[in-house]
Amino acid sequence: MVAAVVSTTNCGSQGPLAVDVRDLTKRFKSGKSETLANDALSLQIKRGEVFGLLGPNGAGKTTLVLQVLGLLTPTSGSITVEGVDVVAHPEQVKTLAGYMPQTRLAMHNIEVERALYITGRLRGLADGVARKQAEELIEHLELGEHRRKFVSRLSGGLTRVAAFALALMGKPRLVVFDEPTNELDPVRRRVVWDTIRDLNRRRDVTCIVVTHNVLEAERVVERVAMVDHGRVVALGTPGELKARLGEEVRLEVVLKPEVAQHGRLEPARERLATLGTVVDLRPGHYAVFIHRHGVGGAVDALLRDMEGMLDDFRLAPPSLEDVYIHLAGQKLEG
Amino acid sequence: MALLGRYWLEFRYLFLVQILEQRGWLVGTILFTSIFPLMLVFGLGRIGIGQTAETLAYVITGSTVVSLTTVGITMLAQDLGNAKERGDFLYYASLPISKAVFLLALIASKLLIQLPGIAVSLIGGSLLYRFHLAPNPLLFLIIPLAAVSISGIGAALGMLSPNFQATNVLSQLILFIVMFASPVYIAASALPLPVQVFGLLLPPTYAADALRRAIAGVTDGRLALDLLVLFAWAVASLGGVTRGLKWRLK
């Protein structure tokens, strides 16, 4: 079980801060142009918390976690991880943190089992402990039949699972997962989310999850920061953030392909806009946010005026994804 | 002691990773790196008529110095540049490991592959030209020192170049400049004075001199000076990498 695999650090979720980011600014210069990746961003994450970082591509999420891990130097601001000043002592934080990056694995012609063992040794585990932990992770993440395969020969999904396992090797007190469930099938996605939850509940490891997969993350994360243009635009528990939508309900509408083929998308969208706030998910696929008292009338109008155009529609209570869509104003991937 | 133990552990596993990564083409690489220096020794030994023992010493050790300098500059820069391009640095940068040890492990793995070629060119060259090769244990010190002494340049190129193409071009260019200014195949006295002076700043000058003295069985003050300069360069390279270079992430 993962419980035996990861850190034995025992801290309450109401305890001191694991991560304290204050007025963090990061600028990238390339020739004469300059990109502001993080803009005076502040964030506090409690020890033992599962914290979600959501936001569109290029919002500054990965830049933020790279700085938290001591892998990028901030332009200004301060970062403390478990009491360690990351800006002054970036090497120290590496003994405390595990990281699952989005990039492909650094090891290529090395077997999965050996890659895990070596990573454990380099993270300071004794020989026997590293072997045991690698074995437990292989079993828990169902990598048994792939243990002797070279990392470079794994499928995209299995490579992500191997990267997930590598991040857990050692005794991390903080683990950062960057898009942990990308490319995974539903069964492995569930295993990954269960493992993250397990890490938190049973071992109080602080977890930062950077993801686009808002619907899945919602079941696991305790608090969420939504990042856009390098700033935190919303912060709170999923419940608190969903409360921002107040009395609104999401009506998701999918139009038939022929509507687009006949150039009737725009009139259809205009009709939907009379029912509520329309957000484009993709061409012919919309989320309409309507007041809950107006649901009956909206559905009636939809069926009356657009029945021939409808491929599918569904009503759902507000989700974290809806908050995300409202705030970021961007369509989600997946 | 605990720190040394930790560094030794890091070195073992990082070296193992590098060797394992090259498993697929290890035999081919060793064959290539063995045949090429021998051909160089064979070809250069036949230029002109009536080679003296002194010029043959330049030819026989020259290939070894070229191999070592290529490891320290071009191979190291390209390996690091490639790793940076692929995003591999993220993994190593996130580990609590020493950058200097990482660099040493990388150089050691490259050196291990070059060793057969070095042995072939030294032994093959001496047999080919009936040159008496004095067995000298100092070779085991000179060879790694020479590779590490110039690694700072290769590491800086690999880690700081904006992209792999730049790494490739710059490493070749710098290798050419370094080799041109170092009296590796020809005596320093045959080079123009400004080049001689510039050559005095470069580690291959001392590596070549140390090798020539070592295979001739000469253990004198000049050899000690060569080793001292190589050692200083090696310390400067590793220190520079540790202090000055950051894991530059793409």
In a domain, B27, yes or no: no
Q: What is the pLDDT of residues B11-59, one digit of tens each?
A: 999 999 999 988 877 788 888 878 877 887 777 777 665 577 778 888 8
In a domain, B31, yes or no: no
In a domain, B249, yes or no: no
Residue A333 confidence (pLDDT) = 41
Residue A70 confidence (pLDDT) = 93
Whether the CB-CB separation of A115 and A107 falls below 8 Å is answered with: yes
Contact B94 A166 (CB under 8 A): no
Q: What is the pLDDT along chain A (334 residues), one digit of tens a residue?
A: 444 443 333 333 455 899 999 999 999 987 788 899 999 999 999 999 999 999 888 889 999 999 999 999 999 999 999 999 999 999 899 999 999 998 878 888 999 999 999 999 999 999 999 999 999 999 999 999 999 999 999 998 999 999 999 999 998 999 999 989 888 888 889 899 999 988 888 778 999 999 877 777 888 899 999 998 899 988 999 888 877 777 788 889 999 988 888 888 898 999 999 998 888 888 899 988 888 788 889 999 999 988 889 999 988 877 777 777 777 654 444 3
Cα–Cα distances in angstroms (integers) from residue A49 to residues A2, A19, A131, in the given order: 17, 10, 28
Alpha carbon distance A186, A196 (integer Å) = 15
Residue-number span of the structural domain to which B115 is assigned: 2-21+36-244
Instruction: Give the mutation candidate from B22, B90, B242, B249 for the A interface (greatest A CB count, under 10 A).
Output: B90
pTM of the model: 0.80
Describe the strand order of the beta sheet including A174-178 as a list of residue ranges.
A97-100, A174-178, A206-211, A50-54, A223-228, A231-236
Residue A138 confidence (pLDDT) = 96
In a domain, B74, yes or no: yes
In a domain, B28, yes or no: no
Question: What is the domain count for chain B?
Answer: 1
Which residues from chain B sit within 8 angstroms of residue A94, using beta carbons? 94-96
Residue of chain B nearest A151, judged by CA positions: B21
In a domain, B30, yes or no: no
Residue B246 confidence (pLDDT) = 67
Instruction: Give the mutation candidate from B94, B102, B241, B247 for the A interface (greatest A CB count, under 10 A).
Output: B94
CA A74 to chain centre: 22
Residue of chain B nearest A105, judged by CA positions: B88
Contact A72 B16 (CB under 8 A): no
Contact B96 A123 (CB under 8 A): yes
In a domain, B250, yes or no: no
Q: For chain B, which residues score pLDDT lower than 70?
A: 47-50, 244-250
Residue B188 confidence (pLDDT) = 85
Phi, psi of A203 (to 5 degrees): -125, 0
Which residues from chain B sit within 8 angstroms of residue A82, using beta carbons? none
**∠ CA A70-A72-A78, rounded to 5°:** 65
Of B10, B20, B22, the CB nearest to A122: B10
In a domain, B29, yes or no: no
Number of inter-chain CB pairs under 8 A, A vs B = 66
Instruction: Give the mutation candidate from A62, A67, A73, A108 for the B interface (greatest B CB count, under 10 A).
Output: A108
Residue B70 confidence (pLDDT) = 86
Contact A121 B9 (CB under 8 A): yes
Contact B97 A122 (CB under 8 A): yes
**What is this model's ipTM?**
0.83
Residue A15 confidence (pLDDT) = 59
